[in-house]
Amino acid sequence: MMEQYSSLGLLQTLVGFDTVSQHSNLALIHFVRDYLAQYGIASQLVCNEEGSKANLYATIGPTDRGGVMLAGHTDVVPVTGQHWSSDPFRLDVRDGRAYGRGSADMKGFIAAVLAAVPAFAAAKLHTPLHIALTYDEEIGCIGVRRLLDVLGGLPVLPQMAIVGEPTLMRLVAAHKGKVAYQVKLRGKEGHSSNPAAGVNAVEYAAELITFIRELARERAERGPFDPLYEVPYTTLHVGKMHGGTALNIIPAASEFEFEIRHLPEDDPQPLLNAICNYARGQLLPAMRAVDPAAGIEFVERSSYPGLLTAPDAAVVRFVQSLLGDERAPAKIAFGTEAGLFSQRVGIPAVVLGPGSIDQAHKPDEWLALDQLSACDTLLATLLQRLGGQG
């Protein structure tokens, strides 16, 4: 007889895999593959180029129709420099909470899905359930893109997707998109006693950062706005900066990174164009007047689209019926893979999962046990719908 796993027991197992994005996720993926195989469910693995990480895709039930996809990422953010009261990779259950890295973001959802697998496998589903697990979501939704290349070639795609990021089990149908860039400035070194003889890469970087800051102020003051977001406008932010070697040396190099988190209806390209045009049209000529070898380089670090699923879309109405909650779907500021499922392969998606984003990425990350139970209940209702005649 096969052992029956609870969602909490599976969460304990999943948290035990150190799947920080810099590390491999294969141990977790192989565990899931073998777990599904116990119930006669085959998995397709889609690996990265090095073969060190993998996505997993599996289907329960008929393969000739769309069905519902449950999706989640397996990677977690680092714990380096954080002070934890317990081992972050060993689940600690106390006071109605499960503490551990990834408990909320988002191994709790994956654990609940896996715990429901035996019941789904035993049922005679008239509509299939698909499971999609990805790698490297936390560093730019990287792994899912390789999975989407495979899904795009399938004869039948899932009809809809639920991405199980932590939303306190509140249905979400829209979120912001993001683009992130690194900017590298090349100046001319010299003695600080004669600043005009060099090209100060730090000062030119500061001018460009100030321009980005002005664009951020303009968006905050003029919009466009969407009051359903906590921050109701597109934001620009500079998060890292490096440059210079000594105070008495004109810095020959500097670099910084900025991001744009944009409303899904607010195309970030005009903002990017404005930043590049200012750098190349205003700053670069002055730099090259001193040294023709001076330069400014823009390197895209990551990007993902926003999500904008219509409030009356079939996936929204379906999930509302599962929840027994007819409230209009919410909107969130943080990004997910849902926009990629929707835009890249046309799978309408929503976001819904146990736990709070407020606990994610922090020391002593935790998931409330009642949230895990609520997710179990949702999946039991989903089973009834996919296995029944309705």
The pLDDT confidence band at residue 1, using thresholds 50, 70 and 90, is: very low
> Which of the residues are catalytic?
75, 137
| DSSP H/E element including 149 | helix 143-151
Mean per-residue pLDDT, 154-173: 96
Mean per-residue pLDDT, 185-207: 97
pLDDT tens, residue by residue, 224-271? 999 999 999 999 999 999 999 999 999 999 999 999 999 999 999 999
Q: Are strands 307-308 and 172-175 parallel, antiparallel or unpaired?
A: antiparallel
My answer on whether omega of the bond before 106 falls inside 30° of 0, hence cis, is yes
pLDDT of residue 389: 46
- Could you give phi then psi for residue 26, rounded to 5 degrees? -65, -35
Tell me how far CA of residue 310 lies from CA of 173, 174, 350, in angstroms: 7, 8, 10
pLDDT of residue 390: 41
pLDDT tens, residue by residue, 44-68? 999 999 999 999 999 999 999 999 9
The pLDDT confidence band at residue 154, using thresholds 50, 70 and 90, is: confident
Q: How far apart are CA 36 and CA 43, in angstroms?
A: 8
Across the beta sheet with 177-186, the strand order is: 235-243, 253-262, 177-186, 295-304
Domains and CATH numbers, the chain: 7-175+306-387 (3.40.630.10), 177-304 (3.30.70.360)
pTM score above 0.85: yes
Pairwise pLDDT comparison (387 vs 299), residue with the higher score:
299
Contact 170, 320 (CB under 8 A): no
